[in-house]
Structures are given as structure tokens and as C-alpha cells.
Amino acid sequence: MRPAGHVVRTALWRAFRPLLVSAVVALVVWWGALAAFEISPFIGKTPQDVWAYLLTDPDAATNRATIAAPLGVTLQHALVGFVAGMAAALVVGAAFVAARSLEQSLMPIAMLLRSVPLVAMTPIIVLVFGRGLGSIAVMGGIVVFFPALVNVVQGLRSVPPTSRDLVHAYGGSDLAVMRRVGIPTAMPAIFAAARISVPGALTGALVVEWLATGNGIGSQILKAIGGFRYDEVWALIVAVTAASVVLYTLVGLLEGLVLARYAPHRLTR
């Protein structure tokens, strides 16, 4: 067995490696795309331009405040959608595992709804839930729910039959099996669903801001484009992209620490 320190270091490296790789790839693609498509410097801003806009220009402090305010709103909206979608996925996934007939009846409907573009559903959602927290939760939850549901169901179904039989042999109910064996066994799948859902929650937040709430980064980008403030547009895009990568990394870090405590063999393969 490897020492606990090695397992924790492995977990940390696995969590932060995507952050480093993503930063390098994003910068290369950014520069390459601007050069390959010969985008006008008036519209296409380089990393140096964004760096200057946020850090070295005389108005850098004001610029950072301009970016931070809508970013905070977007992160709040993303959190609402993430919590709503993950909670619904956990509840529905547990119900599907407990009652196979329920899954056979409802899963096709869920997949059909998943195929409908969110933009097409937005007018109905806004009409029913308004332009406030209700629409934010529903639209963000929809983006998060469907991919998370598949992972949660697969994870809950990965319980070894011997473990299930052991709980039943000691008089445990199906609920006890789910609580004592199912959820711990499904933890890697649940964290995988969470990592997938973090960028999705931000996407849902941007859509709801663009089409419904009129605030946050989704709305601010439209305002900046209308005002020909392309430095601000690129800075907003960089901010929300960086937030997505950082949040993804933090979820990966939490996953590594939890698995290092409860399932270290999964980190040392």
C-alpha cells in the first residue's frame, strides 16, 4: 500500500493538471485563431490586450470592477442551476435504480426533452416561471440534469451484488443498501457528473442572462458588443472561461481528496 502522503499528492496533481493544460491550450488556440483568420485588431484582442485591459492600463481597476460585478452575478446563477440540477439528478437516479419500470417509462421522455434546444424552450420557461430565480433554477437545472442523471444511474447500479446481499442478510432495507453501499460506491460517478455539470451550469447561466434576466455576463457581453467595447467583450469571455476551468479544477480537487480518504485504490491505478 502506498503512503497516504503520496495518495494525496497524486490527488492534487490530478486536480490541478487540467488547469495548467487548459491554460496552455487556450492561449495557443487564441493566438492561432487570431492569426489564422486574420481577424482585425479592432475586434480580435490578443492575450496581451486583455492583460493590459485588466492589469496595466490606467483604468485597469475600473475595468476589473466592470468585469467582477457581472461575473459574481453569473456565478450565483450557475450555483443555483448546479444545485437544482444535481439534486434532481440524485433523486431521480435513485428512483430509477429502485424501480426499473419507472426508468423504462420516464427515461425516453427525459432523452426526448434533452434533444430540444434550450433556446427554444426559454420563452415557455420564462412565461411559466418569470424572469427571476425560478427560471434560473429551471434553465440551469436542465443543462445540468440530463448528463448528471446518466452518470448517477450508472454509479448507483455499480454496487456489487455481494455487498447488496450482505446488507439484506443483516436485515437492511433497499434504502439502507442505497445509503450504506450505493452512494459510497457511486461516489466516483457522482463526482464525474459534478465535473461535467460545472461548465454546463455556467452555460445555462449565460443563456438565462442573455434571454431572460438581463444581467450577468451573458447580458453584459451583448451590451459591450453594442457599444463596440471589444476589450471588455474579450475580458468577459476570459473571465467566465477562467471561472469554468477553476471551478472544474476545484471539483476535481474535492473528488481527489474524498477518494483519497474512502477509495485510495482508484487514485493509484
Domain range summary for the chain, segments of one domain joined by +: 4-266
Residue 126 is placed in which grid cell? 420564462
Residue 261 pLDDT greater than 70, yes or no: no
Binning pLDDT at 50, 70 and 90, where does residue 4 land?
Answer: low
Contact by Cβ (8 Å): 3, 260? no
Q: How far is CA 183 from the centre of its chain?
A: 21
From 26, 45, 33, select the one nearest 231 (Cα to Cα): 45
Mean pLDDT lowest among 98-102, 136-140, 193-197, 215-219: 98-102
User: How is residue 95 written as a grid cell?
Assistant: 428512483
Please state, rounded to an integer, the average pLDDT across all residues of the chain. Answer: 87
Cβ atoms < 10 Å from Cβ of 93: 26
Please report, as a single letter, which amino acid is at residue 158. S
Q: What is the rounded CA–CA span in Å between residue 181 and residue 160?
A: 9
Using a pLDDT cut of 70, give the percent of the chain over it: 91
Query: Residue 219 gets which letter from DSSP?
Result: H
Report how far residue 191's alpha carbon sits from residue 37's, in angstroms, rounded to the nearest whole number: 38
> Is residue 8 pLDDT above 80, yes or no?
no
CATH of domain 4-266: 1.10.3720.10
The answer to whether residues 225 and 237 touch, using CB atoms and an 8 Å cutoff, is no
